[in-house]
Chains A and B, each alone.
Chain A
Amino acid sequence: MKGSVSQLGTMVLLLYGIYSSKNKDSDWLITGSSDKHIKVWDIDQGKCVQDITEHGASVKCLLPVLDNMFLSAGENLHLWSGDGTLLDTCLSDERDADITLLISTNIKNERFVTACDKELTVYSIKSNSDMDKTGHKICRLKTLPPHLEAIGTLIQVSDKLFASGSLDGMILLWSSETFMPMKKLNTMSEYKGKSHIYPYSVQFIACENQRYLLAAIGCGFAMFDTLYSKLLCKKLNAHYSKVTQLTFVCDGLLLATCSEDGSIRLWGQRSHSNPNEQLTVKASMGLSPIERFLDINFGQLHHNKGPDPFPEPALVGECLGHCGSVMRIVDIGLEGMLSCGADNLVIAWKNSELQKMKRNQVVQEKVLNPSGIV
């Protein structure tokens, strides 16, 4: 495929198994690219099963909607049926900018929000039984009050909330029901900074437990509690360049941030670097990543018993392997993480000790017991 695949990491997660109801044998994956093609892949066989060219412009984002349909957005918004037939198109109203972000706001996937430059627009898909040909139609519901600068990230927090972050550093929380702004986080007065580098721009927001937001802000990152609109902890200069994404890895023991400077950094609490008995107890309790990371349980957290704010996370490791900026990191559980960068590389990072142990096991179980008799 020519051109760059947009949002591969996100898409893989979103579109996995979208056609499983139709074809239960294998999962399919849909990819859109700047080469104006949308392709459907059979994951098991690694084959392209369908090539859709009717999008007609660079594909910026894809979103599965309802049961067996998906949306693609770029210059315009298209609705596709599961077998790749174009159901409806919603033309843009002569704006220069493309739609860059697309999220659904409720479980039914009826309503979805698009981000285009500074504006957020709400659409819904209506099934019209009268219309025989398509059956489904995209309807624009509302245009939301704009951000000060271009929107960089858009995420669903819970069924009732979604969040958007923009270049000026502001994170807005919106109600999914009324589509009104609920809260403002991280408001900056002098957001442009020296020579317009926007040092507080929000590049990415991740959500944990439908309440906590992890935001990549400028060269650093911060963690917010949406309920109390409170900053839990932050690290201002985490990287040399802007942080592109962040996620918890290794069961929440570490927070990984990747940046345009080509590095992935791992953050943890200082106490984690010296494992002691206390940790063993905590670990055995089956905590969620955020609890483990902040070293506090939800009970304490909800009752505001933790320090205010929490101490800065400590740098515990750095993964250098990419030659260009690192675009995405994906947690692959205890195994480690995957990262993809602008240098066309996908690197798998693994815990070396764990690998050693696993190799020991493989050698013992498979190599030394070829017959399988133990």
Chain B
Amino acid sequence: MFGADLPFNMYIDEEPKASNGWNFDLEEYLIPSNLVPHPWNRQSASETHLDMDFILVAEFSELEGPREVMTIPKGGSSNFNITDFSVRIMSLEHQTTTKQGFHLIEDSQVMFSEIKDNVFAFVHHFALYDRHARGYVRPFAISYITPDSRKLLQFYEEISQQMKKVVRYLKYGNKLVFKNNLEMHLMDLHYTKAEMLLRMRSKKSSQAVSEDIFYKNLRTLEANITETQNVLHSVRQSLVDKKLEHRFARLEEKAKVDSSRPKSDSFSLQEWEEIDNTLPLSQLSGSYGSSPEGAQTLFPDTRFYKPKTVKITSGRQFDIHLQGLHELCSWGHREGMQKLRHLYQFFQRDMAVLQVENCDMTYCEPTSSALCFGEDCIGANLLTNIDKNCMGCHCVCANLPDLLFNKCSSIESLSFKSAASSFRSLNDDDAESMKSAYSTTGSPVVNFSLNNDPEVTVVKDSEKDLDVFSNNEFLRHLQIQIEQFEIGIPNTNEAVFDDIRENENHDIKADSLDHREGNSDTCKGYTNDPKGKTDILSVMEVSTCTLTGEEKGEDGVETVDVGDDCCECGTDDGVGGYECGTSDKETAGVRDRLQTLTSENVGQQESEKEAGNQEITEKISLLAQSLRTESELEHDSEGISSYEFIRQNIENLVPVDTPEQESVLFPGDTDNLTCGFGLLHIMTKYASIKHVIYSILIGRPVIVVGTAAQEEEVTHIVKALKIFLTSYHRNHKSFIPWARCLPSIYKMTDVKLLGVCRPERKSVDRFIPAAVKKLCTVFDLKKREIFCPAYQGYYLSLLDNRVRSYKMEEMLTTQIKSILVELSSKTFLYFHSFSIGPAGIGRQDYKFLQQQSSSFQRMVSNFMAKIGIHDSDVHILEFLCETIKQQLIEDHFQSRASLSNMPVKPLVAHHNLCCQVMKC
């Protein structure tokens, strides 16, 4: 029992006093370190504390006393004495029952706090039934333990509800198991009784002496039977949750199907059949705990149960090994634990995150006006906190003031800047973490600093030679150059230039440092160069590219298409030069080569200044490269902490990242946490993927076609692209990762994203009918061709341009989400200011259709231009808005049950888009 080691502890308690008098030098490990255990085991206040949340499942074992059954995560908190805590919580429950005999025990929930030790727990007590246990009952408790009391107070309701759900699974599974056990036991008892009677009759004459014992046994047996029947009766009465039962049955069925299949496909079919015939299944599946008769099934066929004789005892014995939780609850355990893990995943996060999410949850209401993307992103909710009646009055009578447009445009610029700055801040943080990494490791390969101040350069005192690189003149020159770019392309966003500016500085510093560390001779060569500043500039550019290329080479990253001749030249020639340029001769050679390159480039660049465009792409790719190197370095220099830091940043960055349903509230699999995972790889691999994304965003069904061998790739692509799917629900058929054949065209109203298997011999043109091709975007994986409307707009191009700058999926996902949120905010404006304003209706008579539709189109594009949306983005916004309208209308008609008058959902919103074949 749990008090069994008390004497031992007392002995230990006294021992330190005695040990003071001991003179022999015992090794430290020989001296018993057992102290009187304090529940929180806080040996010293500074050292130990509960540093993380965890979930503890504890049991009051009739053999051992309170004990820990399991913790989530495994091991729980490192500085926390779980056993003692188990004792503590198991002593909390007060079940005051006066009833006699078997009865079902109610659950109880307790909040438990230990302010002194900063430990708080939410404990849910419940009892599971076990035929072998004392009183058929085994008390359990699930506790959510946290150092943050606010979490429990603030989310009491949620935690309580979720706990109840978890326990519901466990208990119901347990009841079913218990019922089965009892039924079998009852059959055993009946069988034993029958056998006893039979034996008695046959041996009646010879065994007269044992008659007393026989009757005694028979009485015991009958008492047992009555008791079991009573218990069974009350258990059966409580089994009313048919839904759950059905769920378990389905799980079991699925498991049976799975287990009947061979684990691996290494056997040929014939071999498998042979095995199937010769060996029983139980022998094949040699997993631990699998019993040959499949005793773990929750829904056994009792007709085939072979009763056994049972040992007749009047009293019950409690020394047998009790079943584990998974045996007690069967499928309930599986489901419950899964739910419990999700609960943990959700609540273990920081209080701030939870609160922000909680606030964001309000965006979910009303659901019909929420613009959702993928599984876990709500772009905006168009009718949150809006009085419908008020709104309705307003939208019919009010005129659209011009002021609104001005507001819109300012909002637009603001929101964009904020988006850009958020990225910058991310980079800044990144840099901060890098700096810290620098300070700890002492010698980083390159110190990357994103400091914007042109005066400051990171140069060590010893390398005075590099002054030329921090020359103000030079920087000014760069600035001028950038300004020229700006003039050249007026529409390009400021943010890009900001990045480029940063990048310039960044490159210079990187460059200078690398020079410093790599080959100082070369640097000296530059300083002594008699040529003018222009030359230096050019050399700089060349060398910058070279260095970037060099780093790339060293780190073994795939080459990025820089897109400029001079850079490529520089890379080709320069890398070798720097790498082997240790001797003076070679350095001179390199210098010569670079100088010749320089003179060529000067002319080239001057001619290109006006064009500007190419330059910008170059800059962007340079930026991409530098960012890439950065994140790489971070990886190299053991930047786990900084990675975590960025992750946190990203989490905080997502403006409205609210789960829409329960399933997302407690996401199923940690791997699936980020919807759209793998997109980075896809976007870098397939060049024209933005057109496909565009198709998804305008509601055009997308079919990814691949042969059977490409199943993995197709599924991968389709799953990654899911992030862009609007109004996606788990139960909807809008998303099919892998279909064996093409669904008929009228199902395309539902299916929006589909991976489909094409027979090897059939070409895509034959496989996909012309009508489908007209309605859907087709992505042929084999030929790497996309048949779709071309995207010409800003947002997705931005994404496409920046994709190379991301090393981590999370960053890209965040970027995507921010773009989606931005689009949603524009949709918000469009919806409120245009669609439900007087401008959206047009004239009341629909007499002159053509004229009206074209004038409507003009009005839409005018409005969109005012809120800063052009070209293809207009279609995206229109579709998003139509989605919302459709949702609202559907919701409205469904709530009124007037389904007959409900407007039909359109098959395609944009029918007349010109499609073309694109290579990717």
18 CB-based A-B contacts, threshold 8 Å: A275-B851, A275-B854, A280-B848, A283-B851, A320-B771, A321-B774, A334-B846, A345-B746, A352-B910, A353-B853, A354-B853, A356-B835, A357-B842, A359-B885, A360-B835, A366-B892, A370-B388, A373-B393
Whether B92 is near chain A, meaning CB under 8 Å from some CB there, is no
Interface residues of B in 755-772 (CB under 8 A from A): 769-772
Q: Does B850 contact A (CB under 8 A)?
A: yes
Say yes or no for A364: interface residue by CB 8 A criterion.
Answer: yes
CA distance A253 to B846 in the complex (A): 13
Contact yes or no, B892 A283, CB < 8 A: no
Q: A12: CB under 8 A from chain B?
A: no
A113 → chain B, closest Cβ, in Å?
37
Minimum Cβ distance to chain B for residue A114 (Å): 36
Whether A363 and B388, one on each chain, are in contact in the complex, defined by CB atoms closer than 8 angstroms, is no
Interface range on chain B (Cβ under 8 Å from partner): 35 or more
Closest to B846 in A: A334
Q: State which size class the interface on A falls in.
A: 35 or more
Shortest distance between the CB of A353 and any CB in chain B (Å)? 4
A364 adjacent to B396 (CB under 8 Å)? yes
Question: Does A369 reach chain B (CB closer than 8 Å)?
Answer: yes
Query: Which residues does chain A contribute within 8 Å of B904, judged by CB atoms?
Result: 348
Asked if A180 lies at the interface with its beta carbon under 8 angstroms from chain B, I say no
- The complex places the Cα of A323 from the Cα of B888 at a distance, in Å, of 32
Q: Which among B774, B850, B888, B911 has the highest number of chain A CB atoms within 10 Å?
A: B850
Interface mask (B748-790 → A, CB under 8 Å = 1, otherwise 0): 0000000000000000000001111011000000000000000
Tell me the smallest distance from the CB of B246 to a CB of chain A, in Å: 34
Contact among B388, B396, B854, B856 for A357, CB-based, below 8 A? B856
Contacts of B881-920 to chain A: CB distance below 8 A: 882, 885-886, 888-889, 891-892, 903-904, 906-907, 909-912
> Is A351 part of the contact surface with B, judged by Cβ < 8 Å?
yes
CB-based contact A367/B888 at 8 Å: yes
The 9 closest A-B pairs by CB, nearest first: A368-B392, A353-B853, A369-B392, A320-B774, A360-B840, A359-B885, A353-B856, A283-B848, A367-B892
Residue of A whose beta carbon sits closest to that of B390:
A368
**Are A360's CB and B885's CB within 8 A?**
yes
Query: Could you say which residues of chain B place their CB within 8 Å of the CB of A366?
Result: 889, 892
Judge whether A270 is part of the interface by a CB distance below 8 angstroms. Answer: no
Contact B391 A272 (CB under 8 A): no
Q: Are B396 and A374 in contact (CB under 8 A)?
A: yes
B856 touching A363, Cβ below 8 Å: no
Q: Contact mask A239-252 → B, CB, 8 Å, 1/0?
A: 00000000000110
Q: Report yes or no: B912 in contact with A317, Cβ–Cβ below 8 A.
A: yes
| Minimum distance in angstroms from A239 CB to a CB of chain B | 13
How far is it, in angstroms, between the C-alpha of A270 and the C-alpha of B218 when the chains are bound? Answer: 103
B369 to chain A minimum Cβ distance, whole angstroms, is: 9
Give A260-313 interface residues, CB cut-off 8 Å to B: 262, 272, 275, 279-280, 283-284
A211 contacts chain B at the CB level, 8 A cutoff: no
Question: For residue A283, which residues in chain B have a CB less than 8 angstroms away from its CB?
Answer: 847-848, 851
Chain B residue numbers with a CB within 8 Å of A353 are 852-854, 856-857
How many Å lie between the Cα of A367 and that of B745 in the bound state? 31
B903 and A262 within 8 A (CB):
no
* Contact of B392 with A279 in the complex, beta carbons under 8 Å: no
B508 interface hit (Cβ, 8 Å): no
CA A306 to CA B856, docked complex, whole Å: 32
**Interchain CB contact under 8 A, B911 and A352:** yes
- CB-based nearest A residue for B775: A321
Q: How far is the CA of A203 from the CA of B240 in the complex (A)?
A: 66
Bound-state Cα–Cα, A371 to B892, Å: 12
Residue in B745, B856, B888 whose beta carbon sits within 8 Å of that of A345 in the complex: B745
Contact of A251 among B393, B774, B836, B849 (CB under 8 A): B849
Q: Which residue of chain A has its CB nearest to the CB of B911?
A: A352
The chain B residue with its CB closest to the CB of A274 is B854
Most buried by A among B771, B840, B882: B771
Please give the distance in Å from A280's CB to the nearest CB on chain B: 6
A317-B912, A320-B770 given as contacts; is B389 within 8 A of A360 (CB)?
A: no
Judge whether B878 is part of the interface by a CB distance below 8 angstroms. Answer: yes
Taking A320-B774, A363-B835, A364-B836 as contacts, is the C-beta distance between A275 and B850 under 8 angstroms? Answer: yes
Contact of A367 among B388, B393, B841, B857 (CB under 8 A): B388
CB <8 Å contact, A355 and B889: no
Instruction: State A370–B857 Cα separation when bound (angstroms).
Output: 29
Question: Chain A contacts of B912 at CB under 8 A?
Answer: 317
Q: Which residues of A from 324 to 374 have beta carbons under 8 Å from B?
A: 334, 343, 345, 347-348, 350-371, 373-374
Q: Does A55 have its Cβ within 8 Å of any Cβ on chain B?
A: no
Q: What residues of chain A lie closer than 8 Å to B910, measured between beta carbons?
A: 352
Which residues, 100 to 132 on A, are CB-close (under 8 Å) to B?
A: none
| List of A residues within 8 angstroms of B846 by Cβ | 334, 354, 357
| Contact among B395, B746, B848, B903 for A364, CB-based, below 8 A | B395
In the assembly, what is the distance between CA of A275 and CA of B851, in Å? 6
Residues of B within 8 A of A356 (CB): 835, 840, 856, 878, 882, 885
**Chain B contacts to A: CB under 8 angstroms:** 388-389, 391-393, 395-396, 745-746, 769-772, 774-775, 835-836, 840-842, 846-857, 878, 882, 885-886, 888-889, 891-892, 903-904, 906-907, 909-912
Determine whether the beta carbon of A368 is less than 8 Å from that of B746: no
Docked-complex contact B853 and A323, CB < 8 angstroms: no
Q: By the criterion CB–CB under 8 Å, are B909 and A352 in contact? A: yes
- Bound CA–CA A167/B851 (angstroms): 39
A351 touches B849 (CB 8 A): yes
Q: State the Cβ distance, A109 to closest chain B Cβ, in Å.
A: 34
Tell me the bound Cα distance from A355 to B841 in angstroms.
10
Question: Do the beta carbons of A354 and B882 come within 8 Å of each other?
Answer: no
User: Which one of B848, B855, B912 has the greatest number of beta carbons of chain A within 10 Å?
Assistant: B848
Whether the pair A362, B889 counts as a contact (CB closer than 8 A) is yes
When distances are taken between beta carbons in the complex, the residues of chain B under 8 Å from A358 are: 903
B771 & A371 in contact (Cβ 8 Å cutoff):
no
A359→B847 CA distance, assembly (Å):
17
By CB atoms of chain B within 10 A, which of A280, A323, A363 has the most?
A: A363
Chain A residues near B392 (CB, 8 Å)?
364-365, 368-369, 374
* Complex Cα–Cα for A345 and B745 (A): 9
Closest-CB distance, B889 to chain A (whole angstroms): 5
Q: Does A136 count as interface, using CB distance less than 8 angstroms?
A: no
When the two chains form their complex, are residues A363 and B853 in contact, meaning their CB atoms are under 8 A apart?
no
Tell me the complex Cα distance, A262–B770, Å.
Answer: 9
Bound CA span A292–B882, Å: 32
Known: A345-B746, A353-B857, A357-B842. A363 touches B836 (CB 8 A): yes
In the complex, what's the smallest C-beta–C-beta distance from A115 to chain B, in angstroms? 32
Residue of B nearest to A286 (CB): B847
B835 CB → nearest A CB, Å? 5
The distance from the CB of B913 to the nearest CB of chain A, in whole angstroms, is 11
- Asked if A147 CB lies within 8 Å of chain B CBs, one says no
CA distance A360 to B886 in the complex (A): 10
> Which of A348, A354, A355, A356 has its CB near the most chain B CB atoms (within 10 A)?
A356
Contacts of B771 in A (CB 8 A): 262, 320-323
Assess the B849–A364 pair: CB atoms within 8 A.
no
- CA–CA, A343 and B770, complex, Å: 14
A262 proximity list for chain B (CB < 8 A): 770-771
Question: CB-CB < 8 A to B878: which residues of A?
Answer: 356
A14 at the interface (CB under 8 A from B): no
Judge whether B836 and A368 touch: CB under 8 Å.
Answer: yes
Which residues does chain B contribute within 8 Å of A321, judged by CB atoms?
745, 771, 774-775, 907
A370 CA / B368 CA spacing, docked (Å): 15
**Cα distance A355–B424 when bound, in Å?**
42
A343→B772 CA distance, assembly (Å): 13
* B86 shortest CB reach to chain A, Å: 55
Identify A319's interface contact among B836, B851, B888, B911, CB under 8 A.
B911
Q: Which residues of B sit under 8 angstroms from A359, Cβ to Cβ?
A: 882, 885-886, 889, 903
Do B857 and A373 touch (CB < 8 A)? no
A369:B888 contact, CB within 8 angstroms: no
Chain B min CB distance to A213 (Å): 25
* A367 to B: closest C-beta gap in Å: 5
Cβ of A250 and Cβ of B849 under 8 Å apart?
Answer: yes
B850–A361 CB distance below 8 A: no
